[in-house]
Amino acid sequence: MVRFLNVYTISVFVALGGALFGLDLASMSAILGTHQYKNYFGNPLGTRQGAITSAMAGGSFFGALSSSFLGDQFSRKVAIQVGALLWCIGSAVQSTSNGVAMLIAGRVVSGLCIGLTSSLVPIYQSEIAPRKIRGRILSIQQYALSWGFMLQYFVQYGCSFINSQAAFRLPWATQAIPAIILFIGLFWLPRSPRWLASKDRWSEALHVIAFLRTANTDINNPLVLAEYKEIEGQIRLERDQESNSFHELFSRKMRNRVFLSMAIQVWSQLCGVNILTYYIVYIFQSAGIKNYLLASAIEYTTYLVVPIPTILWTDRWGRRPSLLLGAIFLAFWLFLIGGLLMMYGEPNSDSNQPFTWVIIDHPAVSRAILACSYLFLSTFALSWGPVSWMYPPEIIPLRIRAKSVSLATASNWAVNFALGFAVPPLLRSTRWGIFFIFGSFNIAAFIHVLVAAPETKQRTLEEMDEVFEYREPLWKSFTGVRASSRLEELAKDIEMCQLRRKG
C-alpha cells in the first residue's frame, strides 16, 4: 500500500513555494498588454515599468539573504511558512493599490516571500530526498513554477476581458490562495532530518528518515540506519573542525563551490529568460503577432509540458550535460530571433509603444520568431530552469548550506532585479541588439560550466567533499560518474551486524 505522505507528495506540496514565483511572472507578463492596466497606472513605459517589474526581484534579494538565518534558526519548514504569510500581505497590497508607489511596495513584500521560498524549498527537498532521485525531486520546484506560470496567465487572460479595474485586481488577489494552502499544510509535514540532526535532535531525525524511506517507519531498517550514521558522521566531523560558518563560506576550501553555485544562478538569469517571460508580450507585438495574448498562453502551456523528461531522467543523464547543451541551444535561438528582427524589421512610427523596432507584413518571419520563442523556453525548461535550482543545495556541506544557497539565490535576484529594471529601456534603445547580448551570455555560461562544474548525480549530499576535492577529470562527466556505493556498503555492514546479534 502506497502511503499518501511520502518524499514525492511532500516535495510536490512544498513546491507551492516555487509556484508563487510563477504566479507573479505570469500576472505581470499578461497584465502589461491590457488597456485597463495601462489606463489606471498611466501607461508606464521604460524605467517606470522596469521599476514596477523589478520591485519583486528587489524584495526577493533581501528575502534570500534572510533565508539563511531563518532557515538555520527556526527550520526550513517554519521559514517557508513565514514566506507564505508575507506573500498574502503582498497580494493584498497589490490588489488594493491606488498608484504605482503602492503597487511597487506590494511587489517588494511579495518578493520577500519569493526570496525565502526560492532559497529554502530546494534545500528542504534536497535534504529529504534519496540520492538516486534527488534530481527528480528538485526538478519539481521548477515544474511547480511552470504550473503557477500557466494557471495565473489563464486567470489573467480571462480577466483581461473584464472592462474594469478587476481585470488586474482580481488576479493579484487570487494569488494569495496557494500561499494560504501552503502555510496551513506545512503544519503536517516533517522537518528536514539533517536540520534536526544539526540541532542534536537525533531521535527525531532518525524517525523522520525512517518515515521518508520505509512504508512502516522502521527505524531498524539497515538503509535507514546507514543514512542516519552517514549524517551523524558528517556532522561530528564538521564540529570537530570547529570552524566558523561565515568564515568557512569564503575559505580556500569552499569559496570555489560557493562561487560556482552563485554563478549557476546568475547565468540562469543572464540566459535571456527574463525577456521571454516578463516581456514576452512586447516581443510578440514587436514581431507583428496580432493575438499576442493567445500566443503567450500557448507558450506557457508548452512550458508546462516540456520539463517532464527532465523530471523523469535528470538523475540518469546528469546535471552537467543539461547545462552545456542548454547554453548552446539557448544562444542559438536568441541569435536567430535577433537576426530575423535585424533583417526584416524597421523603426516603429508609434513612439508611445514600449518597443521601437517592428516587423510589418512579413507573416512568415513573425511565425519564425514565435517558433523560436517557444523553442527557447522549451530549452530553458529542459536545462537551466530546473538544474540551476538543483546544483546550489547539492554541492555545499550542511553546516554552511543555508548560507551558501541564500547567497546564490540572492545573486539570482540581484541580476533579476537589474534585468527587470533594464530590459524595457534596452528594448527601446538596442532594438534587436538585446538578443545578441543575451545570446553571448549563454556562450560565456557554456565555457564556465565546461571548465568548472563537475557532475553530482547519484552522490549523497555527504559525499560532495569527495566530488570536489578528489574529483575525476571533468570531461568524464559526459559518460557519467560512478554510482555511489558507500551508503549501500554501510547498510550491508549494519545488516550483517544485526544478523550476528540475532544468531
The string of pLDDT tens digits covering residues 30-61 is: 677 678 888 899 888 767 887 888 888 889 99
**Binning pLDDT at 50, 70 and 90, where does residue 432 land?**
confident
φ/ψ of residue 231, rounded to 5: -65, -45
Which has more pLDDT, 447 or 233?
A: 447
> Tens digits of per-residue pLDDT, 242-273?
555 667 777 777 888 999 999 999 999 999 88
Residue 463, in any domain of the structure: yes
166, 204 in Cβ contact below 8 A?
A: no
Q: What is the mean pLDDT of residues 146-160?
A: 82
Instruction: Say which CATH number the domain at 286 has.
Output: 1.20.1250.20
State the residue range of the domain holding 22: 7-189+243-471
pLDDT band at 236 (very low <50, low <70, confident <90, very high): confident
pLDDT digits (tens, 9 = 90+) for 454-465: 888 878 777 787
**Closest Cα to residue 393, out of 144, 149, 71?**
71
Q: Is the residue at 440 inside a domain?
A: yes
Q: Are 373 and 279 in contact (CB under 8 A)?
A: no
Around 434, how many Cα atoms within 13 Å sit in the side-chain half-sphere?
22
28 pLDDT more than 80: no
Residue 1 in this model has a pLDDT that exceeds 50: no
Residue 482: inside a domain: no
Tell me the C-alpha to C-alpha distance, in Å, between residue 50 and each of 32, 42, 136, 194. 11, 14, 35, 40
CA 363/CA 359 separation, integer angstroms: 9
Does residue 22 lie in a domain region? yes
Q: What percent of the chain has pLDDT over 90?
A: 37
Examine residue 495 and state whether it is found in any structural domain, yes or no. Answer: no
Q: How many domains is the chain built from?
A: 1
| Greater model confidence, 485 or 422 | 422
Least confident residue range of 203-217, 408-422, 459-473? 459-473
Task: Return the pLDDT at 67.
Answer: 92
194 belongs to a structural domain: no
Specify the range with the lowest mean pLDDT, choosing from 70-84, 440-454, 455-469: 455-469
Residue 212 belongs to a domain = no
Query: Would the CA dihedral through 53, 58, 61, 66 be positive or negative?
Result: negative
Using DSSP's 3-state secondary structure scheme, residue 282 falls into helix
The answer to whether residue 229 is domain-embedded is: no
Beta bridge partners of 346: 358
- Residue 475, pLDDT > 60, answer no
Among the listed residues 107, 68, 116, 71, the one whose alpha carbon sits nearest the alpha carbon of residue 89: 107
